[in-house]
């Protein structure tokens, strides 16, 4: 009789243990399912936020493009074409130098524009831009009061706008823009010292050409007001840097 009771108790304990194990397993599955559901919801929310941010960025870029084209239309096509040819030549010359000494070019431009060489190299890769194009974009960005970014300027160039049109659309004097970019070309190629003072580019004669361009127009002029070498002639010697 005693033996039967022991066997009975053992059977009950086994059943209780099995039930507990099943409960734990069920609870684990339920918890795992809840975690998966939460993670899926989180991923969907992130995807939605990313899509919304991308849509806003595209809309902002399109608005900027329209504003630049409208302002650039006030400048003669001949002047824009001439400026673009010179700016493209400057960019190509920098690229020729970069093919032989890319790290040196990256270091000079990074010092000149106040960023790290690593950040600028990563930006170049992400935008699929040349060093010459980055040089132009940074020079123009540093001389405009608009909120347009370097990334946006490169994207506008890649979408078909010429540098002459972009410079004019930013309200910059084209002769001065060419001289300023050529000054930075000298820096990139090692003919002038990278001192962190971006060549100054004057605004054009169209009053208010920059007004309202970008969401935060008027925010922070990147160019240093103490840059030397600025002359009063049309684009003559503007921002030219001499010596290493």
pLDDT of residue 14: 62
Contact present, 239 and 193 (Cβ < 8 Å): no
Domain boundaries, the chain: 1-244
Query: Following DSSP, what letter does each residue of 85-152 receive, concatenated?
Result: HHHHHHHHHHHHHHHH-HHHHHHHHHHHHTS-HHHHHHHHHHHT--HHHHHHHHHHHTT--S---HHH
Residue 203 β-bridge partners: 172
Query: What predicted TM-score, i.e. pTM, was given to this entire model?
Result: 0.68
- Please write the tens of the pLDDT for every residue from 204-239: 744 333 434 444 333 333 333 333 333 333 333 445
pLDDT of residue 46: 74
What is the full per-residue pLDDT of the chain (244 aa) written as tens digits? 545 554 555 555 566 555 555 555 655 566 666 677 777 766 666 777 778 888 888 888 899 999 999 999 999 999 999 999 999 999 999 999 999 999 999 999 999 999 999 999 999 999 999 999 999 999 999 999 888 999 999 999 999 999 999 999 999 999 999 999 999 999 999 999 999 999 999 997 443 334 344 443 333 333 333 333 333 333 334 454 544 4
């Amino acid at each position: 009789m005693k033996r039967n009771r022991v066997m009975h108790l053992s059977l009950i304990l086994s059943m209780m243990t099995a039930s507990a194990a099943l409960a734990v397993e069920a609870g684990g599955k339920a918890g795992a399912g809840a975690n998966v559901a939460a993670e899926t919801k989180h991923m969907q929310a992130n995807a939605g936020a990313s899509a919304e941010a991308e849509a806003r960025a595209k809309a902002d870029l399109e608005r900027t493009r329209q504003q630049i084209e409208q302002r650039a239309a006030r400048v003669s096509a001949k002047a824009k074409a001439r400026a673009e040819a010179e700016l493209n030549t400057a960019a190509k010359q920098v690229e020729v130098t970069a093919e032989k000494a890319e790290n040196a070019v990256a270091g000079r431009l990074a010092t000149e524009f106040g960023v790290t060489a690593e950040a600028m190299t990563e930006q170049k890769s992400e935008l699929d831009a040349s060093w010459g194009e980055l040089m132009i974009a940074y020079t123009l960005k540093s001389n405009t009061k608009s909120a347009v970014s370097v990334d946006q300027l490169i994207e506008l160039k890649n979408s078909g706008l010429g540098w002459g049109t972009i410079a004019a659309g930013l309200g910059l004097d084209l002769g001065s823009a060419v001289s300023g970019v050529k000054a930075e070309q000298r820096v990139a190629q090692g003919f002038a010292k990278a001192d962190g003072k971006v060549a100054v580019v004057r605004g054009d004669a169209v009053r208010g050409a920059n007004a309202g361009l970008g969401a935060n127009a008027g925010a922070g002029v990147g160019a240093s007001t103490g840059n030397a070498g600025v002359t009063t002639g049309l684009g003559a010697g503007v921002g030219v840097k001499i010596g290493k």
